[in-house]
Structure 1
């Protein structure tokens, strides 16, 4: 008030606006302790997560199993794969901040049982594992949609107090040099943690 020579109500309105934007977090206690939210560092997402983040990244396995029932996987996956498929869901952290949820489906032309066993180790990079077994992921096609996170995503990505932070929903298809599909992946990335760079030919 003294610095800007304004009324207390003006200061409170400004603080309330910052809280609504998720930039200031209020504890809600009677003492009304507030802390400033520091957005995580942004990075470019353009490879496998662990390759991209190095020592700063880690994965938590949420689900890893071979699926033999159609009703246990998204309908879109069945357009590309026949059963069985390996379902591989991880929560990804950078600098101990949860930044993404990855829900990957792998086709049965891969050695699924062996992959399932090796991927129990969260430090294993999926694309590196593919290369080790003679499968070469060389091309990636992605579709992006921006939306609000659902309740489960808010909790997993620790966004419950930052309701204005959207997520980037990515459908990623990864191919080998012969255009065989090696992975169908549904990613949910925190929009405040990533930027996406694309280059494509113009159709004129």
Structure 2
């Protein structure tokens, strides 16, 4: 049975326990187990994406039986097929957001609030319904920083600089925005790239 488990798992990425159960239930018939495992996976892909079995099977095979990649790629294809441009959302506007995200990545969220084109970036971000709440949180954090640093110049003391930064770190709007950007950074980027891909 060990050799059959190895053979089965070499063909499809079936978990060890499931491989054993399949082989026991099907008299060690590896071919039948492969068929049943693929059928189950294809059904799951259909349920997660709403696509037909043929599409699910094609993507599943193309992704070498990686169900997560198949689901992800089908969802991307469905998004592209049904894409409706959002008035006011342009490649240039999304470019501003992506540039701002690079500042977040290279520096930190606090520094990114000084990004020169942040207002324009947030304007575009707020037009995308799935990212509207994030835009609102970042805008609130930016306003909090502007208020805390109002009147501050480089000539002011280091103590004042540190005090204002501590105040910003403790600000609720700043904390919330910083957390949401940290948690959803990849999701935001992926969503923006979907739009870029579909805009002419």
By the TM > 0.5 criterion, same fold? no
Greater relative contact order structure (CA < 8 Å, 6+ sep): 1
Structure with the higher fraction of residues in strand conformation: 1
Normalised by the length of structure 2, the TM-score is 0.29
* Larger Rg computed on CA atoms: 2
